[in-house]
C-alpha cells in the first residue's frame, strides 16, 4: 500500500506567533519520491513531523489518500521515519532493532521472517546479531533503513538520513535508497539541505525558505527555470553567477544589460524571457548566469546568440576533470541573504543609510512582511555608478566559469569570454525571475 499525501495551506506556529511553516500546499502522488530542500532552519523537519503526526498542525489540512488526517495518531498513519542520527536502541541487536516495531504492531506474530527478508534486501544478514556500538555509521543507517522497510509502511519519511556519514558512503547509500524506494514503490518524503542530494534523488523537489514554498518541480525544471533568485542560487554547483545589471532599452536600438564596466547587447530576435525586459528600462535588475552559459573563446568564434565580454583571471580552482576560473569582469555581484556562502556585500553609502525610504529599506520591509520573500541587496539606480574608491582597485572575482583543464590560465591574464544569451536569467528588484511563461521548459534539444 502506498499513499497520496496532500498538504493544504498548512502552517505551524510553535511560539509567539512566528510561523515556521507558512501556508504550505503540495500534493505528493502515490509512489512519488519528493524531496524537501532548503537551508537549515527553514522548516523541513517540522513539515515531515507534521506529516508523521509527531507535531500538531496549527492551521490547514493534511490529507492521506484524500481523507482528512490532521488528528490521526502516528501509528494509524503507517509511515516509517528514518532520522539523521539513526536512532537505534543501543541495548538491542540489529535483529532486535528491526523487529521491534513489528512486535509492537503485531504482538502475537514472529517478526523473524520479515526481519530476514529485509536484511537480505539490504545485504546486512551478517550484521543481525551485532549491537549498534559494533556497527559503523553506514551499517547503522542500513539497520535503521531496515527497521523502516520491514514494517511495509505506506510511506517513508526520511529526515537527512545521510548527513552523518562521510561523502563516499553518502553517495553510495544515496544510490541504494533511490533503488530501494523505487523497487518498493512506496511514497517517500525525503528532507535534505544538500541540493546535489535533492537533485539526484527526487522525482520532484520542493524548495523551502523561511517556511515558505519557493518552487516545486522536477530537478530539471527547478534548475532550468528557477522562479526566483533564491532557487537559482540554492540549486547548482558552482553557484550561479549573480550580477547587478542596468537595463537600457532605447526605442531605436538594441537592448543592453549594462554590467558595470561591460555590457551585454541582447541579440535579436529576443528570447522569450527577454521580451519582457523592455519595461525594465533604466532599472536595476539581477542577471543570473550559470557557469556553463559562458565559455572561453574569442569574439570571432561567437555562435548566434553569443555575446563577447572579457575577464581578468583572479583565481583558478583545479577540480581534476575541469577547472573553475574566477574572473573579474568589472561588474558587481548581487547578494542573496540566507545562502550558506554569501558573497561580500557592497558597502552601503552613507546617504542611503540615512534614507529610510530607499529601495533597500523597502525590500527589508517587504522581507519582514513576507518572511520568505527573496529580498536581494540592490542599490537605488542612481547608485549604479559608485564614486571610485582608491582601496577598490581590485574587485573580487565576480564571474565563475568552468572550462577544460587543458587550458593554461594564470592570475592576471585578460581572457575573451562568450556569453550564451539564451541562458541569461534576469531577476527583478524583488528577486523574481522576469519571465512570461514560468511553467514552460526551454527546448533543451534545440
Ligand atoms: N519544538 C520547537 N519549538 C520551538 N521552535 C522550534 C521547535 N522545533 C523547531 N523550531 C523552530 O522552527 C524552525 C524550523 O525548524 P526545523 O523544522 O527543524 O528546520 P529544518 O529541519 O529545516 O532545519 C526553526 O527556526 C526552529 O528553531
Ligand atoms: Mg531538520
Q: Is 41 in the pocket of ligand 1 (CB under 6 A)?
A: yes
- Give the least confident one: 18-22, 102-106, 355-359: 355-359
Q: How far apart are CA 339 and CA 230, in angstroms?
A: 8
DSSP labels, 222-233: HHHS-SBHHHHH
Closest by Cα among 23, 96, 100 to 57: 23
State the cell numbers at 43: 522548516
Q: What is the mean pLDDT of residues 424-431?
A: 90
Mutate to test the pocket of ligand 1, among 38, 41, 190 (most ligand atoms within 8 A of CB): 41
Beta bridge partners of 324: 317, 402
Which part of the chain is CATH 3.40.50.300? Answer: 5-229
CA distances to 133, 232, 332, 433 from 238, rounded to whole Å, are 38, 11, 18, 20
Peptide bond connecting 269 to the previous residue in cis, omega within 30 degrees of 0: yes
Between the CA of 377 and the centroid of ligand 1 the distance, in Å, is 26
Say how far residue 364 (Cα) sits from the centre of its chain: 23
Between the CA of 371 and the centroid of ligand 1 the distance, in Å, is 15
The band of 1, judged by pLDDT with boundaries at 50, 70 and 90, is low
Q: How far apart are CA 29 and CA 32, in angstroms?
A: 5
Between the CA of 325 and the centroid of ligand 2 the distance, in Å, is 34
pLDDT at 64: 97
pLDDT at 343: 34
Convert the pLDDT of each residue in 403-412 to its tens digit: 999 888 999 9
pTM: 0.84
- Tell me: pLDDT of 55 over 80: yes
Question: For residue 212, which ligand has an atom nearest its CA?
Answer: 1
**Is residue 105 within 8 Å of 151, Cβ to Cβ?**
yes
Beta bridge partners of 374: none
Convert the pLDDT of each residue in 291-314 to its tens digit: 999 999 999 999 999 999 999 999
Peptide bond connecting 90 to the previous residue in cis, omega within 30 degrees of 0: no
- Give the least confident one: 75-89, 172-186, 385-399: 385-399
Beta bridge partners of 315: 326
CATH number for the 5-229 domain, one of 1.50.10.10, 3.20.20.120, 3.20.20.70, 3.40.50.300?
3.40.50.300
- Tell me: pLDDT of 17 over 60: yes
**Is residue 329 within 8 Å of 398, Cβ to Cβ?**
yes
Amino acid at each position: 500500500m502506498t499513499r497520496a499525501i496532500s498538504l493544504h495551506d498548512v502552517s505551524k506556529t510553535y511560539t509567539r506567533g512566528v510561523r515556521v511553516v507558512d501556508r504550505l500546499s503540495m500534493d505528493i502522488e502515490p509512489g512519488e519520491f519528493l524531496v524537501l530542500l532548503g537551508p537549515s532552519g527553514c522548516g523541513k523537519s517540522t513539515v515531515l513531523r507534521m506529516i508523521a503526526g509527531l507535531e500538531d498542525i496549527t492551521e490547514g489540512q493534511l490529507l492521506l489518500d484524500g481523507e482528512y488526517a490532521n488528528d490521526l495518531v502516528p501509528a494509524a498513519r503507517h509511515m516509517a521515519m528514518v532520522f539523521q542520527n539513526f536512532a537505534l536502541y543501543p541495548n538491542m541487536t540489529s535483529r532486535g532493532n528491526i523487529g521491534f516495531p513489528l512486535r509492537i504492531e503485531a504482538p502475537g506474530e514472529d517478526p523473524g521472517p520479515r526481519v530476514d527478508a529485509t536484511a537480505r534486501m539490504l545485504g546486512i544478514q551478517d550484521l543481525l546479531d551485532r549491537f549498534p556500538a559494533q556497527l559503523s555509521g553506514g551499517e547503522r543507517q542500513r539497520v535503521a533503513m531496515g527497521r523502516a522497510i520491514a514494517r511495509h509502511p505506506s510511506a517513508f519519511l526520511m529526515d537527512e538520513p545521510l548527513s552523518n556519514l562521510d561523502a563516499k558512503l553518502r553517495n553510495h547509500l544515496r544510490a541504494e535508497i533511490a533503488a530501494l524506494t523505487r523497487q518498493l514503490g512506496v511514497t517517500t518524503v525525503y528532507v535534505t539541505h544538500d541540493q546535489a542530494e535533492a537533485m539526484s534523488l527526487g522525482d520532484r523537489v520542493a524548495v523551502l525558505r523561511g517556511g515558505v514554498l519557493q518552487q516545486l518541480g522536477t530537478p530539471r525544471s527547478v534548475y532550468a527555470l528557477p522562479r526566483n533568485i533564491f532557487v537559482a542560487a540554492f540549486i547548482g554547483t558552482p553557484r550561479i553567477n549573480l550580477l547587478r545589471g542596468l537595463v537600457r532599452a532605447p526605442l531605436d536600438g538594441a537592448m543592453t544589460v549594462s554590467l558595470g564596466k561591460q555590457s551585454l547587447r541582447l541579440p535579436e530576435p529576443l528570447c522569450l524571457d527577454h521580451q519582457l525586459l523592455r519595461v525594465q528600462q533604466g532599472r536595476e535588475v539581477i542577471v543570473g548566469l550559470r557557469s556553463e552559459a559562458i565559455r572561453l573563446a574569442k569574439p570571432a568564434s561567437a555562435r548566434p546568440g553569443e555575446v563577447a565580454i572579457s575577464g581578468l583571471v583572479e583565481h583558478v580552482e583545479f577540480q581534476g576533470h575541469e577547472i573553475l576560473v574566477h574572473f573579474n569582469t568589472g561588474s558587481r555581484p548581487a547578494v542573496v541573504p540566507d545562502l550558506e556562502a554569501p558573497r561580500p556585500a557592497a558597502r552601503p553609502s552613507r546617504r542611503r543609510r540615512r534614507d529610510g525610504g530607499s529601495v533597500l529599506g523597502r525590500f527589508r520591509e517587504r522581507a519582514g512582511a513576507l518572511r520568505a520573500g527573496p529580498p536581494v541587496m540592490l542599490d537605488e539606480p542612481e547608485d549604479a555608478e559608485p564614486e571610485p574608491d582608491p582601496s577598490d582597485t581590485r574587485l573580487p572575482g565576480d564571474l565563475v566559469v568552468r572550462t577544460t583543464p587543458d587550458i593554461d590560465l594564470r592570475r592576471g591574464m585578460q581572457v575573451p569570454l562568450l556569453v550564451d544569451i539564451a541562458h541569461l536569467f534576469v531577476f527583478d528588484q524583488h528577486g523574481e525571475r522576469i519571465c512570461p511563461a514560468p511553467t514552460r521548459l526551454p527546448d533543451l534539444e534545440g
